[in-house]
Every structure is written in C-alpha cells, then in structure tokens.
Chains A and B, each alone.
Chain A
Amino acid sequence: MNPNAHPPSDSATPTAAQRFARGFELAYTGLMRALEPPFAAIQKRIGIKGMAYVFVAPNMIIFSVFVALPMILNIWYALTGSNRLMMEERPFVGLDNFSALLDCKDYLDVNSCKQDRFWRAVHNSVLFVALQVTAMVALSLVTALILNGKLRARGFFRAVFFFPVLLSPVVVALIWKWILQRDGLLNALLMAGGGERVAFLHDASWSFFWTVFVSVWAHMGFYALILLAGLQAIPADLYEAAEMDGTPKWRVFWRITVPLLLPTLLVVVILSLIRAVQAFDEIYVLTGGGPGTATQFIVQYIYETAFANQVHLLGLAAAASLLVAVVLMVLTVLQLRISYHGKTS
C-alpha cells in the first residue's frame, strides 16, 4: 500500500468499509450500553451464577418449542384417535394405536397383521437396513483403504467419492431415476448393446436393489471419509514396524488395521444403521415406495399415514414413530457408549 494514495482516514472522507466499520462499532456499543442496565439489574437480583441460566435461556426456549414440545405432542397424539388435528377434538384412546399396530397373528406373515402396511414397512426396513449397512460399511471401508493408499491423483478421487454427499437427496434420486427409468440411460445402453429392456424400477426385487444401491452411493463418501480419518489416525510407524517384522499384507490388515480402526468402524456401523432406519427422501423420490409396497420403508409409512392419505391417521402414525424412536434411541445410546469408549482408551 502506498501511504500517499491512501491518506489516514480521519483527514479525508472515509471509505465505505471504514464507514461500515464505524457504523457497526457505534451500533454495537449502543446495543451493549442499552443492554447493560437491565442485565446488571438481573445480575444484582440473581447473582453471577444465575446469569448462566439467563444466557442459556434463549437456546432452551428454542429447544423446548421446536424439539421438546413436539416430542410431548407426539406422545399425546399417539394416545389419541380420530383424524382431527386439534388436541381438544381428539378422543383419548389409551394404547389402542399401539395395539392396532402390534395386532398380528404371526409377525412374519404381514397378511396376518391388522396394520399390514406397517409390518410390510417394518419387514422392508429390516431387510433394507441389513443389506444397506453391510454394503455401506464394506464399500466405504474398501474405498477408504484405497484412498488411503499411494494413489495417483488421490485428492481428486477423494473429492469424487465425497461429491454425492453434497447433493440434495432429491437431486440424487432424480439423477438415478433418470438413469433407471423405463426410457432411462441404463436401458438405452442395454438396448444399444443388443440387450433386453429391464424393469429396474417397477420390478420388486430390482427396485429394492436400487434403493440400497442409490442410498449407498449417496452416503458412502461420508462414511469413507470418517474411515479415512480413522485410518490416518493409525501411526505410520506401526506399519513400518510390522514391515520390519515381516508381516504379510493380509495379516497387517486383520491384526493391525482392523483392530485399530474398530472404534471408528463401530461408529460408522451405528451411524449408518440409524440413517438406514430413517431412510426416506431419496427412496420416496426414486420409487415412491413402489412397485406396490416393495420399497415402502417405515418412515414413508409414517409420513403417508399421517399426511398423505386422505384420512390423516395421526395417532397411528405417532405411535409408529414412537416405536421407531425407541429403536433409534437404543442405537444412539450404543453409539454414544462406543464413541465414549473410543475417546477414553
């Protein structure tokens, strides 16, 4: 900077930035001065320790309005019936919603259940979670291992694998729908290669496969990144020590990499488990739960029962969401336990 070109600010007209800064300073000091008397008064009343509560109060209010209250409301909805939205119009029905949901002659045969849709969704979700989490953990581990290796253009590949994570789930689903639909890219390629058109999205097994595939594709980068961080936290000299010890590659993997990555791996398993149970957006856009109910999962069941169907069975949906919440809570506690242990050891 040439000092002659920019004379000191107080001798000439201030620049826009300076004026902004000065205005900001004025506003800030003004605000602080205005706030001081009331806060000072409060502090005089309740003491300096009490001030902590004053400062967390806004947050607590937001939390209670947007998190705690809806949770309580949800419980209340689960205990009441009818399709009405307003509390006072909803008759109390006790545990009827729960017993309706759990009314099954044989839990493995959805057709024997009163709420067959709920149980179809549960069955689909269980299968989905099992397949998706297995695939997710295996593939993200392989990806992380490859990305952690000596690879040409490593940064580029890391970005490539992480990219889908940045996409909105709806965009992900639309991209894949465009690829998989009847006149989509994949069928065009198949037919150009002389193959037969495949009903990727309206054959039950195919469409289930694609929901797993697309959700793994969309989120794998995130877990691969966590695992990559875990891999990089393993000191390089352990591998050198193993090399000096003449350890075969597979033994290095099983005896050193896996045990040291285990805490990270468990966090990934639980996180992906929780997210798989919550799967909704991509799948809703990709298959809409179809064909039939082949890809309808538990969250979609809740959504449709509460909002999309003409008669809004809010109580039933709330009860179902509470059952899911219990499952998720168990998983979350597990995850906290594990990550806590990971930190202390």
Chain B
Amino acid sequence: MFKQLKTITGGLLALCMPVTAMLATSQTAKAADPTEVRIMWYSDGIEGDVMRDLLDRFEKQNPDIKVTLDRVPYKTVVEQLPALLDSGQGPDLARVTDLGGLSRHYLDLRPHLKNAKYFDDNFASSLPWFRPVNGAKDGVYGVMTQLTLTLPLVNATLFQQAGIPMPGPKATWDDWAKASKAVADKVKAPYPIAFDRSGHRVSSLVLDMGGKFVDGDKPALIDDGFKAATKMLVDWHNNGTMSKALWGSVGGTTYRGATEEFANAQVVFYMSGNWQFTQFAKTVAKNFEWQAVPNPCGPGNCSGMPGGAGLVPIKTTKNPQAVARVVEYFASEPVYEEFHARTLFLPAHLGIAKKGINYQTDDANVKKSLAIAVDQVAQTSPVAFRLQGYEHNRILFNATISRVNQAISGEMSLDDAYTRIQADIVEGLAAKGIKLQ
C-alpha cells in the first residue's frame, strides 16, 4: 500500500511541476548518446550566462557528457525543489541556498572524485555547511558557487548632497541610523534605512547587538541581543527611519528587497549584501555614487552574516560519475576563478581568496565595494559562521521575520512576538522530528 502510494504521490508531484517535468522528458528523449547531467539553477545576476558559457567549454572537452542548465526563478528552488527532492524527482545537481535544510538529499561525491584532497584543502571552511547530521564526517556534499556576506550599501551621493559626512568604519548602528535619517530628511529621500525583508538580514543586526542564536545544537534565539535588535527595528519603523511601505507591502515570510528603490536613489542606507553589486553596476551605472560600507558595530560585533549558494549533487542521480566530473570541473582553480571574476562573487575557495581575484569590472562603485566586501569576510564573527552552519537556521530566520513584522505593523507587542517566535521554532523543529526540552 505505502509503496504504491509512494509511486502515485511521486507521479502526481511530477505532474504538478510542469516546468521541470517537461524539461526532463524533452531532454532525456534527445540525449540518447551522451550522459545527461541536469542542473536546476537560479540566478540573481549574470551567473547563469557565465555558467552556461563555462559548461559549453566543458561539453567540448567532454563530449560524453551533456549538461542541461534548467534556469528557474529563485522561488522555484525555495518552494518546489524540496517537494521534488522528497518525491525522488529531483535534478542531478541544484544551486541552493538552504544548505543545511536540504542536506539529507545530498550525495557524497568523495568516492567519485579524482582528487578529493583538492576539496579538503581549498573548501575547508564551507564543506561542513553541506554535511548532513548523520553524514560522512569528511563527505564532499557540495561546493559553494558564491560566498555572500551581508553588508550595507550606501548612497554616497545623497550624503554629499546633504552635506553630512558618512560615519566611519567603526561607527555603530545608532550612528548610521541617525546619519541616514538626517540625510534623508535633508534630501527628501523616502527611505533612510532599508533592509531586505529577510530573517537572515535581521540576524546580522541581532549578531551585532550581541545575539547568540544557538546554544550547542539547540536554538537559543531570544536573548538580550535579539531583543535589543528587534526593538531597534520596531523603533525605526515608528520614527520613520525605516518605512512601512517596504516590509508592509507583503506578509508572512515573503522576501522583499529594496533594489529598485535603491537604484532610484530613494534609499540612503540599504542593508543587503555583496550579491547586489553586479545588479547595481547595471541599474545605477553612473547615475550616482554608491558603495558597500563595513558592517556597523553594536555591543556584540561588527560583523555581517555569511551565506551563499552552493552547487549540490542530489542522491537520486543515476550518473554520480558524470556529476562528479562536472563539479570537479567547476571547482577547478582556473574555472572557479573565472566564474567569480566575471560574476563579481566572493570565492569560497581559500587558495583563490588568499591570492585575490582580479575582478572584471570598470565600475568604480563596484571596485570600491568589492574591496570592502573582501575585507569584511575576514572580519566575520565565529558566531555568524556557527549560525550559518546550523542545520535549522531557516526556521529561526522565518519565525523572526514574520513575527517581528507583526510587531512592526502593530498586531502584537514585541513580547508576544517573542513568545510566538519560540512557539514557531518548537513547532518547526517538531515537524522535523526534533523535540526541544
């Protein structure tokens, strides 16, 4: 009965995912000769084009493998990929950001790699992020395609116009809030501070305010740091430092960036991350001067939250050998370096990071910002890395963003929000089979 149900649900799910399913069938029909490797890939900027270009080169060198890059919106990766994986209908490789949450579906590539030591040496800091709790302690479960770091982007032109100096490298969040508000008031910009509507971005504020997030392998979110940071957000929304127009325009855990507003010079200080650089190089171009600035300080830290996207091999693949060759090609030093140089991403490859990348850009704003970002990676707090490595960090992020939002919109007090956040975490973990207390 269960076996049958499994096949039936699987079939149903495949029907429910028309894009992927159609791509899958149409491609397998053609590729009779070479082995096919399918990658589900989302893009923030130009990385899809760069990847395709690199893969074309790979296919020329390896005529026995054909790599299909299924380009999907980020939402598909978040909402549909988990269901596909659960039903065994996943691709061979996928570009994901919830490294821990999906880890039970990853394949350990170590047995298939020609040179596993290369991975141990160069990806030592990020390999643990992929490993499932019960997985091989030295497993190679994926490779980062991009290291990200949250940091603020500032519209320098607005500061100049307002005649207000930018706070220095060790400035506090308060300093930045006051300065941004002053600038915005002077130049009539509607958004002094904008945050991506994301628990991950909020966490970097929590981090700076002294939050610890986890205690051993258990979440311990609600502490003084967390309370101070969330109170700050509520206050900012109430005194106009942040506008309700951004976070208020959606509900639940829905992500909402402020890239358009920033590109339109409506935002003074935008808490986002380095992955926006390429986009602003295009949309802002030379309209105004902008740059990344070091993460502001709080009583706890002056650090951003690391993160990133990884390319992960999926357990259900029929061609682990071919998958391993694709990953090895991508991770190889020249290819990996070229990918990052062209996409302006931060490399997770230690050797390349140490050597430094010669980024392919003429944009002065981007150049300046990349230098800051590279420097900020080195300053990242161990607490931040620990949170990034915590398998269930998304549960914390989502509970935070949705409940803090309700407090901001006045639906509940912050204290009620804390209670609800705790309850949401308990509920989420329980669903994953983890009992707290």
Q: Which residues of A contact B (CB under 8 A)?
A: 69-70, 73, 81-88, 111, 114, 116, 120, 181-182, 199, 201-204, 207, 287-296, 300, 304, 307-313
Contact = CB atoms under 8 A, between A and B. Distances in A.
Interface of B: 2-3, 5-6, 8-9, 12-13, 78-79, 82-83, 86-87, 98, 101, 190, 243-245, 247-254, 256, 394-395, 397-398, 405-406, 408-412, 416, 420, 423, 427-428, 431-433
Contact of A291 (B5, B6, B244, B398): B244
B249 A290 contact: yes
Nearest to A312: B82
B253 A309 contact: yes
B244 A84 contact: no
9 contacts: A85-B82, A88-B5, A300-B252, A304-B253, A309-B252, A310-B101, A311-B398, A312-B431, A313-B431
B5 A290 contact: no
B431 A311 contact: yes
Contacts of A296: 251-252
B253 A308 contact: yes
Given A116-B420, A296-B252, A310-B395, A202 B9 contact: no
A290 B86 contact: no
Given A70-B12, A291-B409, A292-B410, A85 B251 contact: no
A288 B251 CA distance: 5
A293 B253 contact: no
B248 A88 contact: no
A101 B3 CA distance: 30
Given A70-B12, A311-B431, A202 B248 contact: yes
B253 A310 contact: yes
A111 to B, nearest CB: 6
A299 to B, nearest CB: 13
A243 to B, nearest CB: 54
B248 A201 contact: yes
Nearest to A307: B79
Q: Label chain A's interface by main secondary structure.
A: loop
B338 to A, nearest CB: 33
A86 B13 CA distance: 11
Given A182-B245, A310-B428, A311-B431, A204 B250 contact: no
B252 A304 contact: yes
Contact of B412 (A86, A111, A201, A295): A111
A238 B253 CA distance: 58
Contacts of A310: 98, 101, 253, 394-395, 397-398, 428
B411 A292 contact: yes
Contacts of B427: 311, 313
A290 B433 contact: no
In the complex, which of the residues B3, B252, B406 has the most CB atoms of chain A within 10 Å of its own CB atom? B252
Contacts of B248: 199, 201-203, 207, 290-292
Contact of A181 (B6, B8, B249, B253): B249
Contacts of A181: 245, 249
Given A308-B79, A310-B98, A82 B432 contact: yes
A154 B101 CA distance: 59
A151 to B, nearest CB: 39
Contact of A199 (B3, B87, B244): B244
B372 to A, nearest CB: 30
Contacts of A86: 6, 9, 86-87
A82 B6 contact: no
Contact of B251 (A84, A111, A287): A287
Nearest to B393: A310
A272 to B, nearest CB: 24
